[in-house]
Structure 1
Amino acid sequence: MKIILILFLFISEINSQVKDVFEFGSKINDYIASCFYKSNDKELNINQMDSIFSFALSIADSNIADALLFCSVGSMTYPVFKVKLPYLNFVIPFSVFTEYDSEKMKKKASNLPHKLFDDSPDTEFGDKDKVVHFFSSAYFSYLFGYSFAVHIGYFVEEFEESFKIDGKVDERDLKINELGARFGQELNYKIIFPSFILAKERSLTYGKNINN
Structure 2
Amino acid sequence: MIKYFFLLFVFIYINIHPQQSNLSKAVNSISEFIASEEFVEIRKSSGDLSAVDSIYLKALKINCNDYGETLLSLMFATVLYREVPIVLPVINTVVYYPLISADEETFNKKNNNLPKYLFIDTPDNAYGDLDKLAHFFGSAFLSYESNIFDLGELIGYFVEAFEESFKVQSSIDYRDIDVNYYGRLFGKLLKENKDLLPSQILLLRSINFFKFVL
Q: Which residue of 2 aligns with 1:197?
A: 201
Preserved CA contact (<8 Å) 2:63 2:69: yes
Q: Percent identity?
A: 33
Q: Which residue of 1 aligns with 2:29?
A: 27
> Structure 1 residue aligned with 2:172, among 169, 172, 194?
169
Closer/same/farther in 2, CA of residues 209 and 186 from structure 1, 3 Å limit: farther
Structure 1 portions without partners, runs of 5+? none
CA distance in 2, matches of 1:77, 1:4: 14
CA apart distance, 1:209: 5.0
Preserved CA contact (<8 Å) 2:34 2:55: yes
Q: Which residue of 2 aligns with 1:53?
A: 56
CA distance in 2, matches of 1:68, 1:180: 10
CA distance in 2, matches of 1:202, 1:57: 25
CA apart distance, 1:157: 2.1
CA distance in 1, matches of 2:210, 2:80: 27
CA RMSD of aligned residues (A): 2.4
Closer/same/farther in 2, CA of residues 173 and 39 from structure 1, 3 Å limit: farther
Preserved CA contact (<8 Å) 1:9 1:18: no
CA apart distance, 1:169: 1.4
| Bigger shift: residues 52-61 or 151-160 | 151-160
Preserved CA contact (<8 Å) 2:30 2:74: yes
Q: Which residue of 1 aligns with 2:66?
A: 63
CA apart distance, 1:158: 2.4
**Equivalent position amino acid for 1:187 in 2:** L
**Equivalent position amino acid for 1:180 in 2:** G
Taking structure 2 as the reference length, the TM-score comes to 0.87
Within 5 Å, give how 1:46-125 maps onto structure 2.
46-97=49-100, 100-125=102-127
**Equivalent position amino acid for 1:63 in 2:** D
Q: Which residue of 2 aligns with 1:132?
A: 134
CA apart distance, 1:142: 0.6
CA distance in 1, matches of 2:26, 2:43: 28
Taking structure 1 as the reference length, the TM-score comes to 0.87
2:145 counterpart of 1:143: yes
CA apart distance, 1:195: 1.2
Preserved CA contact (<8 Å) 1:24 1:59: yes
CA distance in 1, matches of 2:159, 2:42: 30
Preserved CA contact (<8 Å) 1:141 1:181: yes
Structure 2 portions without partners, runs of 5+? none
SS at match of 1:106: helix
SS at match of 1:77: coil
